[in-house]
A and B are shown apart, each in its own frame.
Chain A
Amino acid sequence: MNIQDNYLKNKKNIFFSDNKDIQTHRDKLINIFENDRFDKKNNESLKNINLKNFIDFKYKYLIPEETSVINNNQENSYSIVSVNGQCSSFKDDKIEITKILDEDYNDFSKNDTIENNDHFVNLNSLFLNSGFKIVIKKNNNIKIKISNIITDDNLTIFQKNNYICEEGSSLNLIEEYENKNNSTSNILNVIKLEKNSQLNHFLIQDNSPNHNLIITTHSSCKKDSTYTQKVYNFSEGYVRNFHYSELIEVNSEADLQGIFFLKDNNTSNNKTFVKHLAEDCKSNQVYKGILNDRSKATYFSNTHVDQVAQKTEGYQLSKGILLSENASYFSKPELKIYADDVKCSHGSTIGPIDENAIFYLRSRGMSKIAATKILISSFINEELSSIDNEQMSEIIQKKLVRYLSKVK
């Protein structure tokens, strides 16, 4: 079934289908899909993707029951089980959780900063069927853990979440994606950091081979705020991590990091994009990948410095280890600088594991496989040792051990 048919058939179930403006917006999107025909050559969002999975998707439309559970287990600490992209409402004096509202969606569709030719974001806008909004109230310091669960095979979730960190607030957000069924999640997170707020966002991705995850984040930072994102992709299924940040007021920071572990025939597409729109802001974009067997990855990083954004500091790095001759990792850093007083740099090193280091370790009696494993662990040592949450560090270690056990 094609996109248009899918859309017409399910129209009445899609969020906000009564809203006129949104209707117009969606008609435009449908047009784009009809005319563009998914031109792979000129669209970064389509490179190296097996489109079949996404265009001919078995679209099973289901407005999920609100079965999510919210627990306020300790003071300032919440755990949420989000089922099929939904989350029940919850409110106390520190946070507020609601289903996404009409106004949020309008807010988003007017937002032209997210690249408007990203087909997967467009699909998300078109078929939106789930999502929620979380507000962290002023000056609170909160921890949230969200486990994302999908209940059915052949289900396609189009989810949009809005996060708002109010002035002076601080949020530590851990999201787990561990889906075992044959389904697809297309998730868009829109994150707003108000003055002097902070968000540490961890995404742990560990889906089985038949689950596709497309996750896109768009964060914007006001004065003195910091957004830090760390992606750990252990998935055996396809994952697309596209994350955009805008530094819209002075002295704000965006730090977008990721590590991915690929094997078999798996693919992962990654992109980070930071737009500096104010003075004295800092950004960091670092992705590291380990690729085995016939796996493939791409990583596009992008720093855009507006002409008003003096004293910008921007750093981009991509590193990869290819454990097999048949694995491939394509990485392309880009810098567009329109201001004159900036410090920006980028680097990229991708290659097989260091043979001299292997020889050195083996010459001390370590087996080849043990030497390989120790070098893989050391490659991401910095990322692992900087996890200051003990429970999370354990989770990541376990997944790493599982990945390494398959390395021959």
Chain B
Amino acid sequence: MFLEIKDLSVKIENKNILKSLNLNINKGEVHAIMGPNGSGKSTLANVLAGKEDYEILNGKINFKDNDLFDLNIEERAQEGMFLAFQYPVEIPGVNITPFLHSAINSKRKRMNEEEIDNLSFAKLLKSKASDLGINIDMLKRSVNTGFSGGEKKRYEILQMSILNPDLAILDETDSGLDIDALKIVTDGVNKLKTKDNSFLIITHYQKLLDYIKPDYVHVMVNGSIVKSGGSEIAAEIEKDGFQKFQ
């Protein structure tokens, strides 16, 4: 199994957020999670990425034959996990280009691959940026600082395509994107998709799933997955909302 979440319960500040959650993802699969606000979708994404504010009450997570809880945040990333944030953090003064360069090299180092030099990296970055319709001038700026909502989301996908992860978690990457940007971004995701990597896509809208075809759709309510199935579930939700799952 590629990613296996078993009976996961998580709390934060005396509040139980995830409750006995189970989810399995195989190599090459695309999974979508839909659920009402506050149901715990971002919490799940953050726990997978290793955010330390949460208290894990119970459960196990396996990722590529590792006990995920044995890996710290950066080790998870270096092992091929990537989280596109719902709210990307602004970091003034940290320039995008050297930051991404050092990120990709720390991953390569762990994989015993050769580091990528300045020039090749600059080329790679430029070509990926132009694929995603990102202005070269933006690459001179500080991480997310002063970016519009849509620019931040595009920039998350740029990082994803540079780091080329095995498991990409997209937390509401579609919200804040205009229709053209949505097309560009989903194109980017589809280009990256192979039989060896997997996606976990968190969204509120069926629209995104018209562009990225999921193999499975899960409904998350109140910290648990209450229903799983194919894309027909997304259509159901679009029509009737979450009422009947609660």
Cβ contacts under 8 Å, A360 to chain B:
85, 88-89, 91, 143
* Structural contact, A375 and B103, CB atoms closer than 8 A: no
* Structural contact, B94 and A364, CB atoms closer than 8 A: no
Q: Which residues of B, 38-64, contact A by the 8 Å Cβ criterion?
A: 49-52
* Structural contact, B73 and A378, CB atoms closer than 8 A: no
Nearest B-chain residue to A367, judged by Cβ: B74
Tell me if A173 is interfacial: C-beta within 8 Å of chain B.
no
Cβ contacts under 8 Å, B143 to chain A:
360
Tell me if B116 is interfacial: C-beta within 8 Å of chain A.
no
* Structural contact, A364 and B89, CB atoms closer than 8 A: no
Rounded to whole angstroms, the CA-CA distance of A370 and B101 in the bound complex is 13
Nearest A-chain residue to B49, judged by Cβ: A363
Rounded to whole angstroms, the CA-CA distance of A368 and B72 in the bound complex is 9
Smallest beta-carbon distance A371→chain B, Å = 8
Rounded to whole angstroms, the CA-CA distance of A354 and B106 in the bound complex is 22
* Structural contact, A359 and B51, CB atoms closer than 8 A: yes
Cβ contacts under 8 Å, B102 to chain A:
366, 370, 374
* Structural contact, A374 and B94, CB atoms closer than 8 A: yes
* Structural contact, A364 and B93, CB atoms closer than 8 A: no
* Structural contact, B93 and A381, CB atoms closer than 8 A: yes
* Structural contact, A363 and B83, CB atoms closer than 8 A: yes
The interface size of chain B toward A, counting residues with CB under 8 Å, comes to 31
Cβ contacts under 8 Å, B100 to chain A:
364
Best-buried of A356, A364, A368, A377 by chain B (most CB within 10 Å): A364
Rounded to whole angstroms, the CA-CA distance of A370 and B102 in the bound complex is 9
* Structural contact, B93 and A357, CB atoms closer than 8 A: no
Q: Which residue from A362, A365, A368 sits with its C-beta under 8 Å from B163?
A: A365
Q: Which residue from B52, B89, B103, B142 sits with its C-beta under 8 Å from A365?
A: B103
Known: A365-B78, A379-B93. A374 touches B99 (CB 8 A): yes
Cβ contacts under 8 Å, A367 to chain B:
74, 106
**Dominant secondary structure at the A interface:** helix
Cβ contacts under 8 Å, B159 to chain A:
364
Cβ contacts under 8 Å, B106 to chain A:
365-367, 370
Rounded to whole angstroms, the CA-CA distance of A370 and B98 in the bound complex is 12
Q: Which residues of A, 317-366, contact B by the 8 Å Cβ criterion?
A: 354, 356-357, 359-366
Known: A360-B85, A363-B49, A366-B103. A378 touches B74 (CB 8 A): no
Q: Which residues of A, 356-408, contact B by the 8 Å Cβ criterion?
A: 356-357, 359-368, 370, 374-375, 377-379, 381-382
Tell me if B92 is interfacial: C-beta within 8 Å of chain A.
yes
* Structural contact, B91 and A365, CB atoms closer than 8 A: no
Cβ contacts under 8 Å, A366 to chain B:
74, 99, 102-103, 106
Q: Which residue from A362, A363, A365, A378 sits with its C-beta under 8 Å from B94?
A: A378
Best-buried of A354, A357, A368, A379 by chain B (most CB within 10 Å): A357
* Structural contact, A364 and B91, CB atoms closer than 8 A: no
Known: A357-B89, A375-B91. A363 touches B99 (CB 8 A): no
* Structural contact, B93 and A378, CB atoms closer than 8 A: yes
Interface residues of B (CB under 8 A from A): 49-52, 72-74, 76-78, 82-83, 85, 88-89, 91-94, 99-100, 102-104, 106-107, 110, 142-143, 159, 163
Closest 5 CB pairs of A and B: A378-B93, A381-B93, A365-B77, A362-B73, A364-B103
**What are 30 pairs between A and B in contact, CB < 8 Å?**
A354-B89, A357-B91, A359-B51, A359-B73, A359-B89, A360-B85, A360-B88, A360-B143, A362-B72, A362-B73, A363-B50, A363-B73, A363-B74, A363-B76, A363-B82, A363-B83, A364-B77, A364-B103, A365-B77, A365-B107, A367-B74, A368-B73, A368-B74, A370-B106, A375-B94, A377-B93, A378-B92, A378-B142, A379-B93, A382-B93
Besides the known contacts A357-B91, A359-B52, 9 further A-B residue pairs in the complex with CB atoms under 8 A apart: A357-B94, A360-B89, A362-B72, A363-B74, A363-B83, A364-B77, A364-B99, A366-B99, A374-B94
Interface residues of A (CB under 8 A from B): 354, 356-357, 359-368, 370, 374-375, 377-379, 381-382
